[in-house]
Amino acid sequence: MLKKALVIDDVPNSFRPVPLNEDELDSFHVETGEARDSYISFIDEITDKLRTPNIKLLFAGHRGSGKSTELNRLRRMIRGEYFTITFSVRDELDIYNIDYIDLIFTLMEKIFSEGKRAGYIRNQKLIENIHSWLGETTEIKLEETAYGMEIATGVKAGGGLLENIFGLIAEVKNHFKMSGKTQTEMRRKIEPGISALKNYCNLLINEMELSLKKENKSLLIIIEDADKLECGKARDIFYEHSGILSEVNTRMIFSIHIFFLNSPFYKNLESKYEKVTFPMIKINNRDGSPSKEGRDILEAIVGKRMDLSLMDGDARKLALEKSGGNIRDLFKIIENASMAGKSKKESTIKRDKIEYGIDKVKADYNRTIVDVNESGFEVTASALYERLVKIHRDNNKILEMDNPILVLLNTQAVLEYNGRQWFDIHPIVVDLLRDMKKI
């Protein structure tokens, strides 16, 4: 359970880089909208768009910007209107080798399991048909799986219809997480039946909606962590196979990286997806002057999680400045600094420890600016550094959206700010360029 740190030993746990859950929001959440886009509330924008039946909404922001916490806020606010199914592609699948087939299959699994658990899916014939389709399509012999062995040896009871369905689903997902031939073969078996899989999603959704209607509710599905996808994987799922996602008959929100909205292929998708952008918290204004509003909000976030007397004032100011407005980076800096302070038996976090924390995050960024060989996004590390130097030298705030910039946005070496859209190099990456004597 998250607690406010009152001594330095507690700081690392208080700055876990994970979203606030619904139970933690009242104690730890800080409203950040004014430092992102002062003209509109992101929650209001999403709830307004959700009035459209079957909408597919892209909630786009940088990794670590706070999207998941905002979605948790949303889920709590709309609980009386929607039954929400939420899952993370990072938790459920191999995010580095994900395929659209994996996503649609997992979508069907989550609708079935959550709908059944809540008592909204009772159509026995539909359940039997799903069981038959799974067995025939995947060609899995359940008795030969680990699940089947557990039943045979008495570790698990049973083997009823529902248990068999979940056993088959678990085995398919194990195949998806394996590399090489096993993974490819399972996808090859399912792909010819992908329309049937989508149809089962819709039949399950229809079954749920009939029950939810009696409660004056609708179904909403939130798919998180698609912002962790590599550029090519995001394009394949949300562009190349956008058709099948758009044919799933319910409201859906996808948490994606903001680079996707700046990609040239997104313009061809505006008829299939609505968007809400979630820019980074401003630490500076567009003219380069410090944003007091943004820095005050970041300090308030820190103050919710630790007694501010645990960090020297100049150390705190440096941490806020170098974070670039990225909450996760700010937390990493403070976590690293507090660990260093603890090891030296210090009772407060001093500036030199924050500098150490910054260097640790800087090393992480250095590892991301590398050659990219993804289809459609090929670019060398030297070309990325050349572009960073040019942005810094020209003081550009509006950028041409070519491959190097899309990759730099995805690595977060370049950050997007403000609802009116302008860009800047992450302050820690500016320091990296200086260390490399490129500027």
Phi-psi region of 368 (alpha: psi -120 to 50; beta: other; left: phi over 0): alpha
pLDDT tens-digit map of 30-81: 999 989 987 788 899 999 999 999 999 999 999 999 999 999 999 999 999 9
Residue 25 and residue 35: Cα distance in Å, rounded? 19
Distance of CA 178 to the CA centre of its chain: 22
**CA 171 to each of CA 9, 117, 124, 186, 320: distance values in angstroms, whole numbers, following the listed order:** 43, 20, 23, 10, 46
Which pLDDT tens digit goes with each residue over 345-395? 999 999 999 999 999 999 999 999 999 988 778 899 999 999 999 999 988
Q: What is the pLDDT of residue 13?
A: 96
Token duo for residue 37: 């886009």
pLDDT at res. 147: 56
Residue type at 277 in one-letter notation: T
* Strand-pair partners of 396: none
Task: Supply the pLDDT for residue 421.
Answer: 87
Q: Which residues of the chain have pLDDT under 70?
A: 143-159
In this structure, what are the phi and psi dihedrals at residue 380, rounded to the nearest 5 degrees? -90, 160
Which pLDDT value is given to residue 200? Answer: 97
Q: Locate 234 and state its tokens.
A: 């995001």
pLDDT digits (tens, 9 = 90+) for 190-210: 999 999 999 999 999 999 999
